[in-house]
Chain A
Amino acid sequence: MTDLTKLTLAEARDAVASRKISSVELTSAHLGAMEKARDLNAFVVETPEKALAMAKAADARVASGTAGPLEGLPLAIKDLYATEGVHMQACSHILDGFKPPYESTVTSQLWRDGAVMLGKLNMDEFAMGSSNETSYYGPVASPWLPPDWDEQKGRAALKGDKKGLLVPGGSSGGSASAVAAHLCLGATATDTGGSIRQPAAFTGTVGIKPTYGRCSRWGVAAFASSLDQAGPIARNVRDCAIMMRSMAGYDPKDSTSVNAPVPDYEAAVGASIKGKKIGIPKEYRIEGMPAEIEALWQKGIEWLRAAGAEIVDISLPYTKTALPAYYIVAPAEASSNLARYDGVRYGLRVPGKDIQSMYENTRAEGFGREVRRRIMIGTYVLSAGYYDAYYVRAQKIRTLIKRDFENAYQAGIDAILTPATPSAAFGIGEKGSADPVEMYLNDVFTVTVNMAGLPGLAVPGGLSSQGLPLGLQLIGRPFDEETLFSVAEVIEQSAGRIDLPKAWWA
């Protein structure tokens, strides 16, 4: 039999539904691949027994004709999602031993539709990071070998401190790495400033951050509540669309969840984009951008034009303000959300001489450096005397950023095409050690989308001169994920499927 981990999610779905393969076979193949790929550190917890039990139940449902749309398909879950009775720590030390007594809405919908859980995925601590290096469980390696490295050198580095291997991006680094390495058919992820799209771009996978309010945030550990959104990472556009349909939907437990019907996103894959107006924002042509990113963008424009789309130059003048404004809004919300981790109700407790010092010691030891830094910045910008100068000003700028997009959409633009990241993946240990801002610049093209609450999708556009994946980003109108899937499919078909690396780590 062929290697079942090589199937796309759509192919696996059809094979299980037609009983060509069983979910137990499919799930076992993925559990085997995970075991061989442990050195990538993509998973923090594997749940093989649960997976096989779920697979058996799925096979029974297929046999009895009661299969759901994701019946028997093995998926992996970012550690930010609550999974009942199973490790959930947002890859932080401060949630040591936490096993939620409840299930997040998004994952419960995946299980409702028949999916199988393989385990929990590594990520940057509380989703704060762009390289998966802030995880308490250590960095994740990308399955892409650094240029000029041979497999032996890669394997040696995996056994050691992983320095020099490529980052999978972050914060959903485990999700992107596991999907690219064929350890799961698809993975859940979350995106606050680019945490789905940047890792997808770095690993040659497809990821979508839906419109704010499209997926429930209930049961997903909060980072910045007005920016956070759940979404899938998968190996192609269709697979992403299939997962989205199950993940999306109204949830009364999330007061920002939007009560609107969930379309059949898969039906949008392959739809014609003839006559669609695609905006090309000049502000995304940033200083110092590598020529190959510019060339990739140009190729994307040509592909869409060839498919009958109308290319329109547009201006989003406040683009440049998005990243600095984000580094006020996101830390401010984080400092408030993370106040709950105090050593009383769950997780780590470090004793002190009184309750105050117990809080302070617990939080000093429980949070990693990046998280402490962001909580402190957030605390500062919200503190008396600075609230108006920083936080209120940043929220006003956010209004301006959103207005830019509204103007473009009012002028008839259907979707906007930009590069996903300013570079290809970099090495573990390479960035941000001296100046945190160096790492933050990774999100320069993605963060605008969160600030405006819009949907954004990253799709591979080709390889860099060094052979590493590069992604294009599509930005859509609110709740028009369907157009993104249609346009992304054109890019995917035109670019040709990227050959993901073969399993040098196994």
Chain B
Amino acid sequence: MSVDQATVRRIAHLARIAVREEEVAHLQQELNAILAFVEELNAIDVAGVEPMTSVIPMRLPLRVDEVTDQAGPEKITQNAPGAEDHFFTVPKVVE
């Protein structure tokens, strides 16, 4: 399988990565090189094989539903590029 330029733009949008028009052709070529590389997997017979979900057989552990070591709002927001009164600030979303 290979991707066309419209698909490259669609993937970039899904991935929330802005691409400039002049980058599209090059990206298409790189993505297709990787897709061509993984193409050989189509020749492998996987009928009746379970997909791997965990390399080590173990059950997902559950912890007690209680408040644990909360960092607190100060620490949580201290690295934000925009924060006010312990809230993250973002461009206006709702008019």
Residue positions of A touching B, CB distance < 8 A: 97-102, 211-213, 226, 252, 255-256, 258, 318, 320-321, 324-325, 327-328, 335, 339, 342-349, 351-352, 354-361, 363-364, 367, 372-373, 375-377, 379-380, 383, 386, 389-390, 392-400, 402, 435-437, 440, 452-453, 478
Contact = CB atoms under 8 A, between A and B. Distances in A.
B44 A397 contact: yes
A402 B17 contact: no
A127 B34 CA distance: 18
B55 A380 contact: no
Given A101-B71, A101-B75, A102-B71, A213 B56 contact: yes
Contacts of A327: 34, 37-38
B11 interface: yes
B79 A390 contact: no
B15 A393 contact: no
A98 B81 CA distance: 10
Nearest to A360: B18
Interface string B17-54: 11100000001001101110111111010100111111
21 contacts: A101-B79, A252-B63, A256-B54, A256-B56, A258-B58, A320-B40, A321-B41, A339-B16, A349-B82, A359-B16, A360-B16, A364-B19, A367-B17, A375-B17, A376-B12, A376-B15, A377-B35, A395-B52, A396-B52, A400-B49, A453-B56
A396 B37 contact: no
Interface in B59-94: 60-61, 63, 71, 75-82, 88, 90-93
Interface residues of B, number: 53
Contacts of B80: 344-346
Contacts of A349: 81-82
A395 B50 CA distance: 8
B5 to A, nearest CB: 13
B41 A324 contact: yes
A344 B91 CA distance: 10
B11 to A, nearest CB: 5
A436 B38 contact: no
Contact of B90 (A102, A211, A344, A398): A344
B15 A335 contact: yes
A214 to B, nearest CB: 9
Contact of A437 (B11, B34, B78, B79): B34
A440 B12 CA distance: 22
A364 B38 contact: no
A364 B19 CA distance: 7
A317 to B, nearest CB: 10
